[in-house]
Amino acid sequence: KQEVTQIPAALSVPEGENLVLNCSFTDSAIYNLQWFRQDPGKGLTSLLLIQSSQREQTSGRLNASLDKSSGRSTLYIAASQPGDSATYLCAVEPYNFNKFYFGSGTKLNVKP
């Protein structure tokens, strides 16, 4: 069974800092990996999806990378803003499973 781990569990940074969130998974045979943002009491907003053949994806200040061989993905947030404060979740879909395994999330607080 795929295990997904996210480190750190919580992170507090001053506004303007660049930061990295980590996601690791135990089985490298994945179909895709997706990063989400969740605000308190809300559903999930998709940020970036990286398919197995890709190494990274970028959207605005966000960049996600994928290294299947080492079972790792990172989400880089440039020039953080208070509005980035949320919980960030990564989800992995193994090949031929049609299901997703979620990490426990990183709760980010960006201080003004």
Partner 1 sequence: GAVVSQHPSWVICKSGTSVKIECRSLDFQATTMFWYRQFPKQSLMLMATSNEGSKATYEQGVEKDKFLINHASLTLSTLTVTSAHPEDSSFYICSARLAGGPEQYFGPGTRLTVT
Nearer to partner 1, 53 or 112 (CB): 53
Nearer to partner 1, 10 or 79 (CB): 10
Q: Minimum CB separation from partner 1 for residue 31, in Å? A: 7
**Which residues contact residue 67 at a Cβ distance below 8 angstroms, ignoring those fewer than 6 apart?**
55, 73
Using CA atoms in the order 87, 88, 89, 90, what is the torsion angle rounded to 10 degrees?
-170
Summarize as ranges the residues that interact with partner 1 (CB under 8 A): 31-32, 34, 36, 41-46, 49, 51, 89, 91, 93, 98-105
Q: Minimum CB separation from partner 1 for residue 107, in Å? A: 9
Q: Minimum CB separation from partner 1 for residue 92, in Å? A: 12
CA-based torsion, 9, 25, 78, 87: positive or negative: negative
Q: Minimum CB separation from partner 1 for residue 69, in Å? A: 20
Nearer to partner 1, 52 or 74 (CB): 52
Nearer to partner 1, 78 or 95 (CB): 95
Count of CB atoms situated within 10 Å of the CB of 31? 14
Helices (H) and strands (E) counted in the chain, each on its own, are: 0, 11
Helix (H, G, I), strand (E, B) or coil at 82: helix
